[in-house]
Amino acid sequence: MKHAIRIAAAFAALVLTPSIAGAKTLTYGTYLSARHATNVTSVVPWMKAVEQATGGSLTFELAADGTLVSGRDSLQGIRDSLIDMSTIVDFYTPNDLKTSTILTELAMLGSDAAVMTAAINEMQLLNCPSCLKEGEDNNLKILAIYASAPYHLICNKPFETLESLKGTRIRATGAWAIFATSIGATPVNITSGEQYEALQRGQVDCTLINVPALTNYSLFEVAKYVVDLPIGTFHGAHVFNLNSSVWDGLTENEKKAFVDNIPQAMANLTEGAIAEDAHARKVATEAGVVFAKPDPALVEALDAFKQDELKRVGELAKSRGLENTDELFGRFQELIAKWDGLVSETGEDWSKYATALKTEIYDKIH
């Protein structure tokens, strides 16, 4: 059955290079479009680089648009050997990737995609044995995770003070919904695809999402006010990984090619996320969207919420069977501070950023 599915899906898949005799062809199944920035700027260039580095002993097939797996069953697809690799959103599998999901739950610690991408990778790959063990238990070799651009309050009318946000309806999920409640707003759980109409009709006053949503979902047409305050990042997208059994079957040269090309791929992905954010700001500003400085009281409320989050997420972790998270959370905060300093040095030199990822993380994994 699995073989038949692969054959049927092959018509919709992208084969990057012709196979050579004895080559291993690995299938990257993803719910994302083949034209999604993650694939265009990072995944496919990485595949080509690995193919070249291995002299064609490894080739890849990109099965995009959910032809083989959806977002919710990507991990299962790898675990069951339907696919070899995928983009995995850990929130969809909280019982399988428990520790990864708990770290992702600490969304409010993030305010910069480059910092959080580096910090979450160093955390999970070098400082979190339980993260790797949970991967192994699911036949998954974890190799790279990326963080989104930071979330912001995007609203259909001005909300200039913290007080004015009380009683508003804010489209928000996860930690962002809890934050909305903490400032006196009412969180509304609707999908990202529904937020345009909800903002247009006044069913919600604001949405908590990253700035590129202004253009990706055309929100700039109906939401003309953005509180210019980073309110967390989503840092739970496992983008580079491999079925553990397949990983064990690779040669040392093939494993080296896999790992050596990840730092630049992650730099490309992060650069793209930041560039997309900047582009959305430009388009939205030209369309009349106001990016307003936040009320200092809102900044203070967010800072206070971040401290409370450590306790809340710790209790959530305990309810899921994870103990002694204080050390885990403390180390994660140390790494965020570390990479905040390193990213301030690398700036927008993405080659330097890739080098930092290599020396600080990828030269140390095996």
CATH of 151-232+283-312, one of 3.40.640.10, 3.40.190.170, 3.30.1490.190, 1.10.630.10: 3.40.190.170
Residue 38 is predicted with a pLDDT of 93
DSSP codes, 177-230: HHHHHHTT-EEE---GGGHHHHHHHTS-SEEEEETTHHHHT-GGGT--EEE---
Residue type, 90: D
pLDDT tier for residue 23 given thresholds of 50, 70 and 90: confident
Whether 2-150+233-279+313-364 and 151-232+283-312 share one fold: the answer is yes
- Measure the CA angle with vertex 202, ends 200 and 208; round to 5°: 80
| Residue ranges covered by each domain of the chain | 2-150+233-279+313-364, 151-232+283-312
In one-letter notation, the amino acid at residue 79 is: R
Fold classification of 2-150+233-279+313-364 (topology level): D-Maltodextrin-Binding Protein; domain 2 (3.40.190)
**Per-residue pLDDT tens over the stretch 224-281:** 999 999 999 999 999 999 999 999 999 999 999 999 999 999 999 999 999 999 999 9
Q: Give me the DSSP letters along 34-46.
A: TTSHIIIIIIHHH
Q: How confident is the model at residue 361 (pLDDT cuts 50, 70, 90)?
A: very high
Sheet of 14-15, strands arranged across: 14-15, 58-63, 24-29
List pLDDT tens digits, range 134-150.
Answer: 999 999 999 999 999 99
Confidence of residue 169 (pLDDT cuts 50, 70, 90): very high
pLDDT digits (tens, 9 = 90+) for 313-325: 999 999 999 988 9
pLDDT band at 20 (very low <50, low <70, confident <90, very high): low
Q: What amino acid is encoded at 124 in this protein?
A: Q
Q: Which tokens go with 208?
A: 């908590």
pTM higher than 0.85? yes
Neighbouring-strand partners of residue 207: 154, 171
Residue 21 has pLDDT above 70, yes or no: no
